Structure 1
Amino acid sequence: MIRLAATLLLGFSSAAAAAAPSNPDPFAEHARNPLLPGYFADPSIVHDKGEWFIYATIDPWGEGKLGLWRSRNFRDWTFATPNWPTKAAATSPTSGKSGVWAPSVVRGRDGHFWMYVSVGNEVWVGTADHPAGPWRDANGGKPLIPRNFRPGFHMIDAEAFIDDDGQAYLYWGSGLNWVNGHCFVVKLKPDMVTFDGAVRDITPEHYFEGPFMLKRNGRYFLTSSWGNTTKDSYQLRYAVGDTPFGPFHEPEDKPLLATNPASQIISPGHHAIFREGGRDFILYHRQALPFPREGDEVLRQVAVDALTITGDRILPVKPTHEGADVPGTAAHRAAGRPVRLTASSARDPLHQAAKAADDNYATGWQAAPGTRSWLQADLGASRRIGASQLRPARPSQPLRFTIQLSDDAQHWRSIGGAITASGSPIALPAMAKTRFVRLTFDNTPSILEWTFP
């Protein structure tokens, strides 16, 4: 399997590599990276009252809404789409064609939650009393930063930063056509919407987009993405300054996190940094495997790894497929009953049915295109089955399927009618005593995991 995957990865240029993880196999069973089941990018994270919230762009290139993942243990995640923003609700005379991208969610000094998000190539701001919403527009139905605010640059990727004294700042900016990225910053008034003073250009070396500010030991670290997320050149960099406005300079000319072809970690970038149990962690997206994909489709997945800061240096991140041990969280996802999965077809050897039962979100079953397909579970013996769970690769898109049961895989009986469902996980009903369960789909599905209690 590794040999085949390596062959599929040939053809992209070499890039700066981070330290190799201890297990370089991205297709190993029970891998904890990717963290989320599905194709998502540009993550932002909040931990509030014992619950984790991850907000993210829905790949490819965003939809008309955001993705929101919630978890109590940091391992078992449930998908939803917030009520705001939507492409329809957040539009203006200056809006571009792009969808909903790159959320940044923070708790303000007023105790409310604030979201700064790119919609139609401009920045909008919303607020909520709870991380899950309901969200409401906070700027009178108009963008906080319109698309033409600084002509020649991309007004996207806004990221809020709250300093130790409660003062809020907003960072944003990118370039056009993957070149000439610029980073802008402004102080925010206590209402978290009004600019307090002039907007400043603080672009450091090797900056393209996705700024994220953090403060450690009195120093300000401006971390950001550089390169092209559709290629293997995308990487994370950082610069250091003495104030939120800088000036910012890179203490050394090397990436914080970059492509490592040997470990099949491709184009890591657009990140958030969070602290838990006195330790720092980085949440970021990287290319879904195999890469490059057929037709140059851009699909990314979210991963988490440890981050170490020493003085005015951030040590190069060690990207892994195992994921990080975050204090106070579960060591692993909830285990399911071992089952044998077979299917009517598979797109290629990397997407056979068994890949939907390996507890690894980098892999999954994909049916051959253009076929009416089925996925079948063999529990090994007849038994009563509790509610099982499907985790589709694209949870925002509905699946339509029927369920059949059999004791011998020859004679089938249907239960209920056709089911149309979206989300993740999709809960299937408990079933009568049986050995085989078959799902027959109307469309061409992609299922990352099918788990049984």
Structure 2
Amino acid sequence: MRRRTILLAAVLLGGTAVAADAPVRWDAPGAGNPVLPGYFADPSIVRDGGRWYIFATIDPWGDDRLGLWTSDDGRDWRFSTPDWPTKAAATSPTSGDAKVWAPSVVKARDGRWYMYVSVGSEVWVGTAPSPAGPWRDANGGKPLIGRDFDRAYHMIDAEAFVDDDGRAYLYWGSGLNWVNGHCFVVRLKPDMVTFDGVPRDVTPRGYFEAPFMVKAGGRYLLTYSDGNTTKDTYKVRYAVGATPFGPFEEAATSPILETHRDRDVVSPGHHAVFRSRGQDYILYHRQALPWPQVGDAVLRQIAIDRLDIRPDGTIAKVVPTHGSPVAGFAPHRTKGLAWRASGEGGRAADDNYATLWRVPKDGPGTLVADLGRRRRIARSLVRPEFATRPYRFAVDASDDGRTWRPVVAMASPSGSPIALRHQVAARYLRLRTDDRGAGLWEWTILP
């Protein structure tokens, strides 16, 4: 029976026999990871009013604002940028030139939402009535943790934790030059801004940055990142303590998430842990593929994998994937009409946010979609490589693939997805752009 099952799987995969535990390739059609179409890092995820929110650093290496992705089904995400924080609004006399990084968003026991975010190597705090905003500074226009707190370390990567009794704690800290990371913690008063006591150094073995607290089995599991996110050494470790202040001892099953070359997963880390329908998951960034990238840009993407926290408070090793089911998430992204393109153009129709169709660097780009037959088409959803940059797009339609009529004039929108409306009947659509070298994750065509 097992042999018949394996043979059937081979037939369904186009006749190529694959071992039952062989990892799906990173460039396979329909891959669920990366979750988001673009380059983002340091994610924080929350759910409110039936909607998911992912706040994240915008790559390469930060931006003057944060990225915010929202979704009602956990699969189709829409990009925006909150009004706060911005590099201009969150600046102090001691701020460095670092961009806006590493948000942590939590709900306090008073029902309000609070964000702890790194700007200029300092930690700022904002508040809002909901994750959707409007977000406003909550500390009188000054950093909650300034660079002068301890100049031997980076004052970044703050993460709030609300315990079962409603008390809140703030963890933060990184190292300099990719070494000597230190983790600090302080209890917060009910206003979620004022320190209730003196910050303590609770650095466990192997800590570099990105703390995230999890409570399980009556114990406190301090998870964190180690290594260098620009190389292949970044990973997630954890240490266990009896209180939110530790002391923390690294667990026997640590590290729990690290580079898997055989699975094309490179440098996973700076994570968040969340629960959906009773199952725990880890949301994290990892290097964009193929890796290493051309040039020196830091380009990371967001992924989700199952996290198994055992009743005794230990965490099982995470098996990183290129997409696996998430309880409460839709099984598929919005796919639209099936279409074909020649050559590399098929990457814009493979439902995979790890693969790109790219415009030639020496000229304009044209991508032709063959729908197989003439049909009614209402609009396109275009997901460009960088959601924050404007792109010039135009759309033409044709019945025979030779004679074309314009249906969307050339414009320069930004965002993700970019909606292009074109009520038309045709077999072929042609997407045109004169942005040399521009990339496109997906082109979804809707009836």
Report the TM range for the smaller structure's normalisation: over 0.9
Residue in structure 1 matched with residue 442 of structure 2 by the alignment: 449
Give the C-alpha shift of residue 313 in structure 1. Answer: 1.4
Give the C-alpha shift of residue 416 in structure 1. Answer: 4.7
- C-alpha RMSD over aligned residues: 1.4
Q: What letter corresponds to residue 276 of structure 2 in structure 1? A: E
Contact 1:21-1:263 within 8 A present in 2 as well: no
**Greater CA deviation, 417-426 or 215-224?**
417-426
Residue in structure 1 matched with residue 372 of structure 2 by the alignment: 380
Residue in structure 2 matched with residue 213 of structure 1 by the alignment: 213
Residue in structure 1 matched with residue 267 of structure 2 by the alignment: 267
Give the C-alpha shift of residue 179 in structure 1. Answer: 0.3
CA distance in 2, matches of 1:24, 1:412: 39
Residue in structure 2 matched with residue 422 of structure 1 by the alignment: 414
Contact 1:41-1:301 within 8 A present in 2 as well: yes
Residue in structure 2 matched with residue 175 of structure 1 by the alignment: 175
Contact 2:304-2:323 within 8 A present in 1 as well: no
Contact 1:108-1:162 within 8 A present in 2 as well: yes
For residues 354-388 of structure 1, give each alpha carbon's deviation from its aligned partner in whole angstroms, at most 9, with x where no partner exists: 11100111112112224222222121222221212
Q: What letter corresponds to residue 371 of structure 2 in structure 1? A: L
Give the C-alpha shift of residue 196 in structure 1. Answer: 0.8
Q: What letter corresponds to residue 292 of structure 1 in structure 2? A: P
How many pairs does the alignment contain?
Answer: 425
Q: Does 1:54 align with 2:54?
A: yes
Give the C-alpha shift of residue 22 in structure 1. Answer: 4.4
Q: Does 1:146 align with 2:146?
A: yes
Q: Does 1:403 align with 2:395?
A: yes
Q: What letter corresponds to residue 439 of structure 2 in structure 1? A: S
CA distance in 2, matches of 1:50, 1:410: 47
For residues 30-80 of structure 1, give each alpha carbon's deviation from its aligned partner in whole angstroms, at most 9, with x where no partner exists: 111111111111100001111100000111111111111111110111111
TM-score by length of 1: 0.91
Residue in structure 2 matched with residue 95 of structure 1 by the alignment: 95
Q: Does 1:297 align with 2:297?
A: yes
CA distance in 1, matches of 2:142, 2:390: 31
SS in 2 for 1:421: coil
Residue in structure 2 matched with residue 9 of structure 1 by the alignment: none
CA distance in 1, matches of 2:307, 2:214: 12
CA distance in 2, matches of 1:21, 1:283: 23
CA distance in 2, matches of 1:40, 1:161: 23
**Greater CA deviation, 21-30 or 186-195?**
21-30
Residue in structure 2 matched with residue 369 of structure 1 by the alignment: 361
CA spacing shift, 1:365–1:118, aligned 2, 3 Å: same
**Greater CA deviation, 403-412 or 291-300?**
403-412
SS in 2 for 1:399: coil
CA spacing shift, 1:25–1:232, aligned 2, 3 Å: same
Residue in structure 1 matched with residue 314 of structure 2 by the alignment: 313
Residue in structure 2 matched with residue 82 of structure 1 by the alignment: 82
CA distance in 2, matches of 1:408, 1:58: 41
Contact 2:241-2:248 within 8 A present in 1 as well: yes
Contact 2:42-2:284 within 8 A present in 1 as well: yes
Contact 1:226-1:235 within 8 A present in 2 as well: yes
Residue in structure 1 matched with residue 110 of structure 2 by the alignment: 110
Q: Does 1:239 align with 2:232?
A: no
Q: What letter corresponds to residue 375 of structure 2 in structure 1? A: R
Contact 1:259-1:267 within 8 A present in 2 as well: yes
CA distance in 1, matches of 2:389, 2:149: 34
CA distance in 2, matches of 1:134, 1:337: 36
CA distance in 2, matches of 1:293, 1:94: 34
Residue in structure 2 matched with residue 4 of structure 1 by the alignment: none
Give the C-alpha shift of residue 215 in structure 1. Answer: 0.5
CA distance in 2, matches of 1:227, 1:87: 27
Q: What letter corresponds to residue 410 of structure 2 in structure 1? A: A
Give the gaps of 5 or more residues in structure 2.
Answer: 1-19
SS in 2 for 1:354: helix
